[in-house]
């Protein structure tokens, strides 16, 4: 069973929920609107009380920070339409997690650490018309702003459904 560390973005749900249900396979499996911080993380069987305590300690050392989601972008070759967050803290956070857990390189090592692009997926589909419709529908709702104040460990079950296993608050903003 897989796990992932996510920055959930409930503020995006009114804007992207229906599009994600139609065109993002992770949404159909219970994953909310989010920015991935580290996937894949440790296998679920390795996530014990010690790992959970260490994640709690790790994230308490991160100050809450603002993030603006400013524009719709695309990776046409991958069939992905996504919203770009404007915060270098997201890349730094992913790199710090990957340094602490080097056995868990972001995206399984498929993307070099210096090429990471934080994103909130709207759709991931081969359906070009759906990608265009999603981009057109979401763009007018931008920008929106959040304060990132926690991360969550999500776990997949044997049936492929995902659920939050634990949440880790950040420290207060300075």
Q: Are 156 and 40 within 8 A, CB to CB? A: no
* Band (100; pLDDT cuts 50, 70, 90): very high
Q: Between the CA atoms of 69, 134, 3 and 89, what dihedral angle is there, to the nearest 10 degrees? A: -10
- Per-residue pLDDT, averaged over 7-33, amounts to 97
Cβ pair 59, 151 in contact under 8 A: yes
Residue 113 has pLDDT above 80, yes or no: no
> Across all residues in the chain, what is the average pLDDT?
96
| pLDDT beyond 80 at 38 | yes
Question: Which region among 3-7, 22-26, 88-92, 110-114 has the lowest average model confidence (pLDDT)?
Answer: 110-114
54-75: average pLDDT: 97
pLDDT digits (tens, 9 = 90+) for 129-174: 999 999 999 999 999 999 999 999 999 999 999 999 999 999 988 7
What would the mean pLDDT of 109-123 be, rounded to a whole number? 91
Domains of the chain by start residue, with CATH = 3-66+89-118+148-169 (3.90.1140.10)
Using alpha carbons only, what angle is made at residue 154 by residues 91 and 40, rounded to the nearest 5 degrees? 55
Going from the C-alpha of 15 to that of each of 100, 104, 120, the distances in angstroms are 34, 31, 12
Helices marked H in 24-48 — which ranges?
A: 25-28
Both structure tokens of 12: 């995006």
In sequence order, which residues have a C-beta less than 8 Å from that of residue 115 and are 6 or more positions away?
none
pLDDT of residue 90: 96
pLDDT at 114 over 90: no
Percent of residues, the chain, with pLDDT higher than 70: 100
């Amino acid at each position: 069973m897989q796990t992932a560390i996510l920055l959930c973005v409930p503020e995006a749900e009114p804007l992207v929920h229906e599009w994600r249900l139609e065109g993002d396979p992770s949404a159909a499996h219970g994953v909310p609107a989010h920015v991935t911080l580290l996937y894949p993380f440790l296998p679920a069987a390795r996530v014990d009380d010690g790992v959970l305590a260490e994640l709690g300690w790790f994230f308490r050392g991160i100050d809450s920070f603002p993030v603006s989601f400013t524009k719709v972008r695309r990776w046409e070759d991958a069939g992905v339409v996504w919203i770009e967050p404007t915060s270098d803290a997201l890349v730094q956070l992913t790199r710090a997690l990957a340094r602490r857990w080097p056995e868990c390189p972001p995206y399984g090592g498929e993307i070099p650490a210096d090429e990471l692009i934080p994103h909130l997926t709207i759709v991931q589909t081969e359906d070009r018309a759906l990608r265009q419709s999603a981009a057109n529908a979401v763009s007018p709702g931008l920008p929106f702003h959040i304060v990132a104040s926690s991360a969550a460990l999500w776990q997949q079950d044997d049936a492929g459904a995902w659920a939050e296993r634990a949440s880790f608050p950040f420290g207060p903003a300075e």
